[in-house]
């Protein structure tokens, strides 16, 4: 079971006081929301304000803004890896692959920060978790391809780039994207990825 952001941040404290733990929990919750809404550039002052604590408490309880953001982003990447492992356990390789892609894109759509982090703006501390995610995606793609559900000419490396294109901009040629536009985009991409005999 992966450790949580709060546990990562409290590793130095063998038995933190209850108020210290509560403050870290509040800061993690505030950071999670701020990262989703603002992105990885959110300031320590903004996180502290959202948590209802002073900036002094922020720096007494946490090593740095970067450490907090890394811990929060690692939580989400760990969640995505767990989704991939669940998809690998699905007896139907195409169903598992498809369900993973929906969950993956939905998480990217919901969080500006995770979208930025998966694009490379999360810092070097995320690299080991991203390597695990790449491996899980590779296994999902190869499994679907080997059973004939996924087109044979699709490399596993193509899939993360295709999934990154699913999230639309707010507007194009005077049209506004609806809330479910990402689902429609993903449906089109999945139809293109599926082996023709399975369509």
Q: pLDDT by residue (tens digit) across 126-143?
A: 889 999 999 999 999 999
Q: pLDDT by residue (tens digit) across 77-121?
A: 999 999 999 999 999 999 999 999 999 999 888 888 887 888 777
The first and second tokens of residue 158, run together, are 């193509």
Query: Which pLDDT value is given to residue 185?
Result: 94
Q: How large is the average pLDDT for residues 37-53?
A: 92
How far is CA 157 from each of CA 45, 55, 143, 160, rounded to the nearest angstrom?
Answer: 38, 42, 14, 6
pTM for this prediction? 0.85
Q: Which H helix or E strand runs over 166?
A: none
The first and second tokens of residue 63, run together, are 């090593």
Q: Which H helix or E strand runs over 171?
A: strand 171-172
The CATH number that domain 70-198 falls under is 1.10.357.10
The CATH number that domain 5-67 falls under is 1.10.10
Neighbours of 86 (CB within 10 A): 13
Residue 121: DSSP 8-state? I
**Where do the structural domains in the chain lie, given as residue ranges?**
5-67, 70-198
Q: Which H helix or E strand runs over 18?
A: helix 18-37
């Amino acid at each position: 079971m992966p450790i949580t952001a709060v546990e990562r941040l409290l590793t130095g404290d063998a038995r933190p006081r209850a108020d210290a733990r509560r403050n870290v929990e509040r800061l993690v919750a505030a950071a999670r929301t701020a990262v989703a809404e603002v992105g990885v550039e959110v300031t320590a002052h903004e996180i502290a304000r959202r948590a209802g604590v002073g900036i002094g408490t922020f720096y007494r309880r946490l090593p740095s803004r970067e450490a907090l953001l890394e811990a929060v982003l690692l939580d989400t990447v760990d969640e995505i890896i767990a989704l991939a492992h669940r998809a690998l356990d699905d007896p139907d390789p195409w169903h598992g692959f498809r369900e993973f892609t929906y969950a993956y894109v939905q998480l990217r759509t919901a969080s500006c920060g995770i979208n930025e982090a998966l694009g490379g703006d999360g810092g070097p501390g995320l690299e080991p978790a991203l390597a695990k995610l790449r491996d899980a995606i590779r296994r999902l793609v190869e499994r679907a391809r080997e059973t004939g559900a996924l087109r044979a000419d699709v490399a596993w490396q193509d899939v993360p780039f295709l999934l990154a294109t699913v999230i639309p901009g707010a507007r194009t040629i005077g049209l506004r994207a609806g809330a479910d536009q990402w689902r429609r985009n993903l449906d089109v991409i999945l139809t293109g990825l599926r082996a023709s005999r399975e369509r």
